Chains A and B, each alone.
Chain A
Amino acid sequence: MLLIKANRDEILRPLQSVSGIVEKRHTLPILSNVLMERTTDGLTLLATDIEIQIRTRTTAGESAGDTALTVGARKLQDILRSLPDSADVSLVMEDKKLAVRAGKSRFSLQTLPAADYPRMSASEGDGISLDITQKQFKRLLSLVQYAMAQQDIRYYLNGLLVVASGNELRVVATDGHRLATAVMPLAEPVATRTDVILPRKTVLELSRLLADSDDALNIRLTNNQVLFNFGHVELVSKIIDGKFPDFERVIPANHPKLISIPSNELLPSLQRAAILTNEKFRGVRLVLSAGSLKLISTNTEQEEAQEELEVDYQGEALDIGFNITYLLDVLTHVSGDTVDLRLNDSNSSALISFAGNEGFKYVVMPMRI
């Protein structure tokens, strides 16, 4: 029975948008498969890792009759990708196997019954619905996602906090050493403040799938799920059930020392200083005195780098250490002409913000070197 016959790219593109979440190793074999469902509306592709589920639809190509099957996502994708661009591909269900044909190439893949494929249950309650553009959300994620923790035992840090309240949508990420937060306005105010923590994988997958376009994105936040609808894609993700640290408390309000530096001067200086940091600590010293900011790093071979920047600063001197990775992260992911660095003493956090990028704040704890 013919599942689809179309140009290679017409099949590959939707497959690629769902297959990103398919884990390579699974104890449940069917989870390495992708569900393909043929109805009169077209071909639906669905993949899940139990936590996230992505579904997409294509109406391209010709087909015959309703059918459904699951097949190894990675293998099918690899086959399609290595076929020539212009190839016309047909997927045919033959006696519990999926035949892939293109030109003189023939592949026969094992399938598993579609009925066994796990699907995420529908969400509880209505929740709130937000309508924004893909570009807006993609940018918002990119401002903070690098600060998420990775495999921390505080599982709630391995994700990104989304807060919808009043007229704004806020995202927060922290790994316990530094914190990044950004805000965007909403066209329509939300009725009730809603906080959800998106799993790390969902965030990474979203920023991969979202386009840099003004196309619509609908987000629905409910008690136990988040739904994203954009283009032909529907992404459903479980949320992390936990209490995210109170981000408002760690953002310092009254740091007296303010240094403004053009970011196109600070970033290259930091990148040069980073060469001679210890590869495990990555420590860099910021030595601040009237009119000057020195970046000093040393490594295990006792080599030293020193960078001096002229700054408009007349306050008292300060010597403070940071993990240079945390400083580089924010400067490479966030754009802005001028970096505002607010400091207090060598044991207090530093607050970084960018002129013209209101709502973005980055807090990083010092390191004792």
Chain B
Amino acid sequence: MPSIQRLPDLLISQIAAGEVVERPASVLKELLENSLDAGSQSLDLQLEQGGVRRLRLADDGCGISQDELPLALARHATSKIASLDDLENVSTMGFRGEALAAIASVARLSITSRARGSSHAWKIDALDGTTEPAALSQGTVVDMSDLYFATPARRKFLKSEATEWGHCDDVFRRIALAHPEVAMQASHNGRLAHRLPSGDLARRVSELMGEEFMAAARPLEVTAGGLRLWGYAALPAYSRAGRDAQYFYVNRRFVRDKLIQHAVREAYSDILHGARHPAFVLFLELDPGAVDVNVHPAKTEVRFRDARAVHQFVFHAITRTLAPSIEAGNLAAAAHPYTPQTDAAAPNFNLQQQQPLHWQNHAEASRLSPSLDWQNSGSNAGGAHTVAQPLAAYQRLAQLGTTAFDAAASATAADEAPLGFALAQLHGIYILSQNRHGLVLVDMHAAHERILYERLKNVLAGEPQTQQLLVPVLINASSKELATLTEQQTTLAQIGFDAAAAGPQQIVLRSVPALLQRADSANLLRALLAELADFPASKVIETRRNELLATLACHGAVRANRTLSIPEMNALLRDMEATERADQCNHGRPTWVQLSVADLDKLFMRGK
């Protein structure tokens, strides 16, 4: 019979290392977090062979004094927390006190550090635990080499050098995005990979995510009930095939949390094509006491005390950011920089000649001068649909007269009608419109579909209509489903499901939402329960309802080859401007594109 015995310390650390030190990237994460917790302002990282051969990190943090150096390598020794209270309100990156010990148990490790105020630095070698004086101007240098030299079996699980470097790069990016104030630099095999000066978030994001992301990203800053969410969320135009451009931080800690992912996906669900993934860099800040990060050693999962509130907050914050209709700022992001010399000149000229009388008598005006067409049609649309802005804009323009009129006024006009005014219809499919940037092409079916869809959604928001069942549906259910049902009965009732437990393994369904009465109610309820079990709020019904509404909208929308008159087209453009999420059709495809004058010039090689 095997006897029970205490394991040696080294073996305990090696077991712990299995969780903590999965690959070089996890070593890097621990070391970077230590450096940031030490208050460093500048970090220098050097890797060799994907971090397996060597991983050296130099920082300018507070350092470790000579007598604490051996402790730093000991298991469950940390400076970051001291009591349970500290653990519950942890505000540092690390706190478990096992990373360095775990790393030391599977790799060669040395730490050189100079504590602030001490006369020189000390170096400790983890292999024998001896300290010796060393030369270092400030901070700490952690030097790890030969990862897994002590446990060759694990070495076999390492991937190629390029893959391991890729993982290290990921970790570096994640941490660099969250700390724009810290200057960071990384090199691999002696080649510089990143040099990030300290700066603001916008600069760091654009350095790491690219200009393209920044062009499509909308800044976000929402605070409510002790929660704050800020950062950048890309419009659906910049979506990705994978989840590689998704960075979410809770109290500056990178997380890949199911709840958060769900909230974000829901927020994008209405505007993003199903197979695409959104791109974002978002930071959630909340009271450290309201979130438990001690779920997993890697700390990429967190638990929220009030999961429902967090879910709703994230969902609404992102939805609101993405929803606004087409406006100048949005347009500017999509369009190329505005150059007054080229594209403002022509309309200026026309407007300068325009007298108040002309736009009142547009039929005549258009006969007199074909170039006035777009202004004429604009006022038509305003009249027919009682949209005040375009008319108001024209009156203002007219009042400005011929002398005061300049490029700035033209900008005001364009702001009032970001999508410009229709010129013509192309092949019965596209609307050509002219705005201050140049040419706008609108897919009229897609655009109209979105307008109708949003309108239907607005009408149907609120109290659900329910159809009661003559023959109740009996559904076989698991005990988990039954438990969820009992917990969420009121939520279910709110969306129109009257369901109750009918036995230890059965649910009886007595009413269903009227809109979905033709759907397979048993499957619907199961999907709903499954989602409610994991997430505090389910959008299953809303999603299904929206699918139906989308179909309705699709049937109701103008079809290709339907000839639209100029006033009709202008009305559609104004509707688009007033509609939320009008940039994408219901299936996530864009509804319009901007071709700036500069783009068109390029086609004809003008000004080259």
Q: Hey, which bits of chain A sit against chain B, CB under 8 A?
A: 153-154, 157, 174, 176-179, 245, 250, 279-281, 283, 300-302, 321, 323, 347, 349, 363-369
Contacts and interface: CB of A to CB of B under 8 A. Distances in A.
Contacts of A177: 467, 469-470, 517
Contacts of B514: 280-281, 283, 323, 367-369
Interface stretch (B116-124, B195-203, B356-364, B458-466): B458-466
A347 B548 CA distance: 26
Interface string B508-525: 000100110100101100
6 contacts: A176-B470, A179-B470, A283-B514, A301-B459, A367-B514, A369-B514
Most buried by B among A281, A323, A364, A368: A368
Given A280-B514, A300-B460, A369-B465, 19 more contacts: A153-B520, A153-B523, A157-B471, A174-B470, A174-B471, A177-B467, A177-B469, A178-B470, A280-B552, A300-B455, A300-B456, A301-B459, A347-B468, A364-B470, A365-B468, A367-B466, A367-B468, A368-B511, A368-B514
B511 A176 contact: no
B537 interface: no
A368 B466 contact: yes
Contacts of B456: 300
Nearest to A176: B471
A121 B455 CA distance: 57
Given A177-B517, A323-B514, A283 B470 contact: no
A368 B465 contact: yes
Contacts of B496: 368
Given A280-B515, A280-B548, A368-B511, A250 B466 contact: no
For chain B, give the interface size range.
20 to 34
Query: For A178, A280, A300, which residue has the most chain B Cβ atoms within 10 angstroms?
Result: A280
A352 to B, nearest CB: 13
Nearest to A245: B471
B331 interface: no
A82 B224 CA distance: 73
Contacts of A301: 459
Interface of B: 455-456, 459-460, 465-471, 473, 496, 511, 514-515, 517, 520, 522-523, 548, 552
Contact of A363 (B470, B517, B523): B470
Contacts of A347: 468
Given A279-B552, A281-B514, A300 B459 contact: yes
Contacts, number: 64
Nearest to A369: B465
B465 A367 contact: yes
B213 to A, nearest CB: 39
Contacts of A176: 469-471, 473
Question: Which of B517, B522, B523, B548 has most chain A Cβ within 10 Å?
Answer: B517
Contacts of B473: 154, 176
A367 B470 CA distance: 11
B522 A153 contact: yes
A326 to B, nearest CB: 10
A279 B467 CA distance: 15
Nearest to B548: A280
Nearest to A249: B471
Nearest to B459: A300
Nearest to A348: B468
A264 to B, nearest CB: 27
A245 B522 CA distance: 17
A352 B515 CA distance: 24
B527 to A, nearest CB: 14
Nearest to A157: B471
Contacts of B552: 279-280
A347 to B, nearest CB: 7
B471 A250 contact: yes
Contacts of A367: 465-468, 514
A349 B467 CA distance: 11
A295 B473 CA distance: 30
A113 to B, nearest CB: 41
Contacts of A174: 470-471
Contacts of B471: 154, 157, 174, 176, 179, 245, 250
A279 B523 CA distance: 24
A349 B471 CA distance: 11
A363 B468 CA distance: 12
B454 to A, nearest CB: 12
A152 to B, nearest CB: 8
Nearest to A251: B470
- Ordered nearest first, which 8 A-B pairs have the shortest CB separation? A365-B468, A368-B466, A300-B459, A245-B471, A281-B514, A365-B470, A176-B471, A367-B467
A174 B520 CA distance: 16
Contacts of B522: 153
